[in-house]
Structure 1
Amino acid sequence: MAKKQTRRTFLRRSFGSVLTLLGLSSGGFLYANRIEPSLLDIQELQIKHPLIPKSFDGIKLVQFSDTHLGFQYSLHQFTKLAKKINSLQPDIILFTGDLMDEPNQYTEINKLMPILKGLHAPFGKYCIFGNHDHGGYGSDIYRNIMENSDFNVLLNESAPVKMSDGSMICLLGIDDAMLGNPNLPLALRNVPQNTFKLLLSHAPDLAQTAAQYPVHWQLSGHSHGGQIKIPFLGALVTPPFGQLYPEGLYSVGDDSPLSLYVNRGIGTTRLPFRFLSKPELTIFTLRHEK
């Protein structure tokens, strides 16, 4: 715990020094602590690929990530987020990890589950493990919460999403890179070759490995977009496995490159600040590409 506090103190002082240099001082702290963390940014992208069946054209996926409940992010805020997600009328909901900041210390699980259960998506709700979901002996806590809230937990496994005509796409989910044991070959086992494959990986940097497999898109979180970014310099700190691809859309690999999208997440961790890195919901629309 002492080491953790020392790191937080170092980051806080670093952030304060940067704001002072920028001439923002207390105004910058107020903005980064109270204002920007509440400014929800909604990004919209299209996922196009020839292997997406025509029957899936227009299907809407909504991704949210890294809520870190219990550290400066409350159930009241999460309730508002859930209402916003439902208002978008998603066909599929995807959560890419780090639900609670410290699962074994979180005391409002009985209030949290009805909110998660109230998220609606006719083609299913899917999630994966993040490092905080494993941390503090939280693995079973997280799995129980998500399964009791009607989420499909993808732990090195696949899940087909099918239409009534038999056409399908395949969702893949792998374990967290920091505290778990990701196994993409296991997740790909028994997945038909000529199927569109969408991978959920909390850690974005695993895209370098995923690009070597028949995976077409990867959705990730983890990095918070840096959470605190310095103008002209970029992120103050990026986590392990979130350093190569901190936010946004990337093309990874040379032959048949993998498309990677990194969501900035909702909450904060270590420091209760966001600066030039707004919380994000991402809407993806599937498109059959001729």
Structure 2
Amino acid sequence: MQKKISRRKFIKKTMGSILTLIAAGAGSYYYAREIEPRLLDINRHTIKHPLIPKSFDHFKIVQFSDTHLGFQYTLKQLDKLIDRINRLQPDIVLFTGDLMDEPNKFPKSDQIIPSLSNIQAPFGKFAIYGNHDHGGYGTDIYRDIMDKSGFTLLQNAAQEIKLLDDSRIHLIGLDDAMLGKPDLETATLDLPSDTYKILLAHEPDMAELAIYEGIHLQLSGHSHGGQVKIPFIGALITPPYSELYYEGFYELGEPHSPLTLYVNRGLGTTRLPFRFLSKPELTVFTLKKVN
């Protein structure tokens, strides 16, 4: 026989449940605004491919993306990030766009240059445009910062990375898809078919075009990994050109010659000052030749 519950106990139990939900909601809000955006995942992956020259075995690539300085991410956080990057001892460093949230409104843009200049990478530092780099009248501001910081800005252009034994791979940088003029055909023009090719494209959904251009690895950002994810539902925020692919690895195209896409969750936030179940990310790729 089911035991009856008194009115007083029922009210007490109900109020306890309500207060628990309120506390959980307040705790989640605080975590998403104040804690998770300041965390950092360092994710390490090995990239294997027959076209990677043997001499590039253990060649280390560090990718960072989407700092959105000025919205929530600070110059102090950037300096800490750069220290982490240098401790990883990368061979090359790649930035996949969205340096400042609103370039023309960021009051300390000149202070970014000495910070980025501190990044050490013996085979170069490379960057591409994101939509926020073009937005806010930022096209020239961003280019000036990256040039003075020692970065090579790839805008529909390719760069050969060559070792002392003349073995090589190619980097290709694409202009932003939302506010720029991406031209993958021009960027890959006259590249040899027998070299390993890495495409930097801010928006991950550009992989739908890259699979037809002989690209082997595409590195993107833009999505922030959804920025806020709800269990059993998924990402709440998937901006244009990151609706198909928004986090982690994807294999696209023909099984015998796939394009590998990696979508970095980025470091900062935009629009909403929250991250939930989508921690900021720094990614380390180590190349390895396979037969």
Q: Same fold (TM over 0.5)?
A: yes
Q: Which residue is equivalent to 1:275?
A: 276
Q: Which residue is equivalent to 1:265?
A: 266
Report the secondary structure of 2:261's partner residue: strand
Report the secondary structure of 2:86's partner residue: helix
Q: Which residue is equivalent to 1:170?
A: 170
Aligned length: 271
Report the secondary structure of 2:212's partner residue: coil
**For residues 210 and 21 of structure 1, what CA distance do their matches in structure 2 show?**
46
Report the secondary structure of 2:122's partner residue: coil
Equivalent runs, 1:42-191 vs 2, <5 Å: 42-191=42-191
Give the TM-score taking structure 1 as reference length. Answer: 0.92
- Partner amino acid, structure 2, of 1:273: F
Report the secondary structure of 2:232's partner residue: coil
**Percent identity of paired positions between Structure 1 and Structure 2:** 61
Q: Which residue is equivalent to 1:16?
A: none
Q: Which residue is equivalent to 1:249?
A: 249
What is the CA deviation profile of residues 159-213 of structure 1, one whole-angstrom value per residue up to 9, with x for unaligned ones?
A: 0000011110000000111111111111101211111000000000010110111
Q: CA deviation at 1:23?
A: 7.0
Q: Which residue is equivalent to 2:4?
A: none
Distance 1:190 1:28, change over 3 A: same
Q: Does 1:34 find its partner at 2:19?
A: no
**For residues 261 and 23 of structure 2, what CA distance do their matches in structure 1 show?**
36
What is the CA deviation profile of residues 125-179 of structure 1, one whole-angstrom value per residue up to 9, with x for unaligned ones?
A: 0000000000011001001100110001000000000001111000000011111
Q: Which runs of 5+ in 2 are unaligned?
A: 1-19
Q: CA deviation at 1:24?
A: 2.8
- Partner amino acid, structure 1, of 2:275: R
**For residues 212 and 162 of structure 2, what CA distance do their matches in structure 1 show?**
26
Q: Is the 8 A contact 2:154 2:173 kept in 1?
A: yes
Report the secondary structure of 2:89's partner residue: coil
**For residues 181 and 22 of structure 2, what CA distance do their matches in structure 1 show?**
42
**For residues 58 and 231 of structure 1, what CA distance do their matches in structure 2 show?**
37
- Partner amino acid, structure 2, of 1:69: L
Q: Does 1:285 find its partner at 2:286?
A: yes
Which has the greater radius of gyration? 2
**For residues 261 and 110 of structure 1, what CA distance do their matches in structure 2 show?**
31
Give the RMSD, CA atoms, in angstroms. 1.2
**For residues 220 and 236 of structure 1, what CA distance do their matches in structure 2 show?**
19
Q: CA deviation at 1:78?
A: 0.7
Q: Which runs of 5+ in 1 are unaligned?
A: 1-19
- Partner amino acid, structure 1, of 2:39: L
Q: CA deviation at 1:254?
A: 2.5
Report the secondary structure of 1:24's partner residue: helix
Runs of 4+ aligned structure 1 residues displaced above 4 Å come to: 20-23
